[in-house]
Structure 1
Amino acid sequence: MSEVKAVAPTWRALAEDARMLTALHDRELDAARWDALAQVEFPRNLTFPVEPELAEAFLYARATWPAMVADPLTALAADYAGIYLTHACRVSPCESPWIDEDGLVMQEPMFEVRAWYARFGLEVEDWRMRTDDHLAHELDFVAALLEHGELAAAAGFLDEHLLVWVPEFARAVAHRADTPFYAALAHLTTAWLAGVRDLLAEELGVPRGAPLSLDEARRRSRDRAAAAGLIQIGRKPAPAFVPGESW
């Protein structure tokens, strides 16, 4: 990333929001982080105020749900694993399976995301362990763009990537998650992304267009892959991961 520009405090604060969301999607909660969320009254502490109803539902679940299970942290860890690690929930936290026509991982969307990172001198630590298009990586990239004042780039990345697939991811997680925490976190993340995109449109003076539909994104991804020579005519596809259906 280039040298930090003079950036308004609001965008730096929104970058911190993005990093908090990144951390929640990045790894399971331990006792210290679970308690810290209560202390800051997450999500009320976010710079961008999500809908009051969503925030209240999140706080209500946070206050009442633990009394309904024997070991809340174990339940949260199991739910995190099912969504982000073992695919027990049959929902991918990576972009490619949502966009690739065959539902495969590490396809053209991942390379598009990697190219975005490279434009700003960034790369993931180990894409074999966690691919470039994982939700946590994409959120962290948005944080970096906001922090460095790359507002037009942040708007473009949201339009081309996160706002295309994360709403579908959130709907699937809300339907399949075992805990209200991760169901609410998925919806909250979508609402935050959409809200920040609206703020960027206002700041940049460029009206926000409608996000790509999944079908449009799939066609675009296929066209780009074909242009790059990544699609072999007549190839037999690997077993597909279909978000919400396979695995």
Structure 2
Amino acid sequence: MDEKTRLYIYAFLSRVFTEALDDKALNDLMDNEALLETIGEETLAWFQRSDFETLKEQLNIDYHSLFGIHNHPIESAVMDSKNEILVGLQNPVMQFYFSHGYDLNLENSKLYVPDHAGIEFGFMQSMISSNDKMTQAEFLHKHLLQWIIPFLVAVKPMAETPFYRDLCDFTMEFLLSDYSALVDEVGVVDA
């Protein structure tokens, strides 16, 4: 997969995990049949047979149910046995960002934790832009793949819409494939 496509997919994942789709994002998605089909055939069919208002309402409800009320796509909440969200440099993800020169300013973000899926996908997008493949592989190995896969496996059965069900599968398949391609290129990442 070329770098431009990888960059686009990580940007897309960052956006859809950060907040519910607004009108512009939903219109953009409705106009991108290729992306809908890539996410999943059920998603494409659902978008084709549903009107804008139905999609908007059902996606909004599903997003908030999946990622706001019942579960939070936050690494420390998933990995910590007490479900605590770690902040500052006590958070291993923040330590990783800091040690790799990634300046994270949460003041201008809708997300207030450094290990939210939206921010972690954004970090991958940044590392692709800087062509740092070893850091990409290391971050996937040490962080994203450790928690997002079990999180998505647990969340998928709760999804009410084809979009979020297919998004869970698409995200898992993409991340595993991306990691495999990176390992083929840079070698095995030390734990």
Aligned counterpart in structure 1 of residue 57 of structure 2, from 66, 70, 74: 74
Aligned counterpart in structure 1 of residue 41 of structure 2, from 43, 53, 56: 56
Matches within 5 A, 1:122-161: 122-126=103-107, 129-161=111-143
Q: CA deviation at 1:184?
A: 1.5
Are 1:182 and 2:164 an aligned pair?
yes
Moved more, 96-105 or 139-148: 96-105
Q: CA deviation at 1:130?
A: 2.2
| Partner AA of 1:122 in structure 2 | D
Q: CA deviation at 1:42?
A: 4.6
Moved more, 154-163 or 101-110: 101-110
> Which ranges of 4 or more aligned residues in structure 1 deviate by more than 3 Å?
107-110, 126-129
Q: CA deviation at 1:207?
A: 4.6
Aligned equivalents of 1:14, 1:82: Cα separation in 2: 28
Aligned equivalents of 1:79, 1:208: Cα separation in 2: 36
Aligned equivalents of 1:56, 1:148: Cα separation in 2: 33
Q: Percent identity?
A: 21
Quote the residue 1:84 is aligned against. Answer: 67
Aligned counterpart in structure 1 of residue 183 of structure 2, from 178, 185, 201: 201
Cα 1:182–1:42, aligned 2, differ >3 Å: closer, same or farther?
farther
Q: Tell me if structure 1 keeps the 8 A contact 2:106–2:113.
A: no
Aligned equivalents of 2:89, 2:72: Cα separation in 1: 14
Q: Which runs of 5+ in 2 are unaligned?
A: none
Aligned length: 189
SS of residue in 2 equivalent to 1:149 = coil
Aligned counterpart in structure 2 of residue 24 of structure 1, from 12, 16, 36: 16
Q: Tell me if structure 2 keeps the 8 A contact 1:25–1:135.
A: yes
| Partner AA of 2:150 in structure 1 | E
Deviations 1:181-208 (A, max 9, x none): 112112211111111111111222x257
Are 1:98 and 2:81 an aligned pair?
no
SS of residue in 2 equivalent to 1:133 = coil
Q: Tell me if structure 2 keeps the 8 A contact 1:15–1:146.
A: yes
Cα 1:109–1:194, aligned 2, differ >3 Å: closer, same or farther?
farther
Q: Tell me if structure 2 keeps the 8 A contact 1:96–1:108.
A: no
SS of residue in 2 equivalent to 1:165 = helix
Aligned counterpart in structure 1 of residue 173 of structure 2, from 187, 191, 205: 191
- Structure with the higher helix share, 1 or 2: 2
Q: Which runs of 5+ in 1 are unaligned?
A: 1-8, 213-247
Q: CA deviation at 1:24?
A: 1.2
SS of residue in 2 equivalent to 1:159 = helix
Q: Tell me if structure 2 keeps the 8 A contact 1:174–1:186.
A: yes
Cα 1:55–1:79, aligned 2, differ >3 Å: closer, same or farther?
closer
Quote the residue 1:43 is aligned against. Answer: 35
Are 1:120 and 2:112 an aligned pair?
no
SS of residue in 2 equivalent to 1:71 = helix
Deviations 1:132-181 (A, max 9, x none): 11000000001111111110010000011111111111112211122221
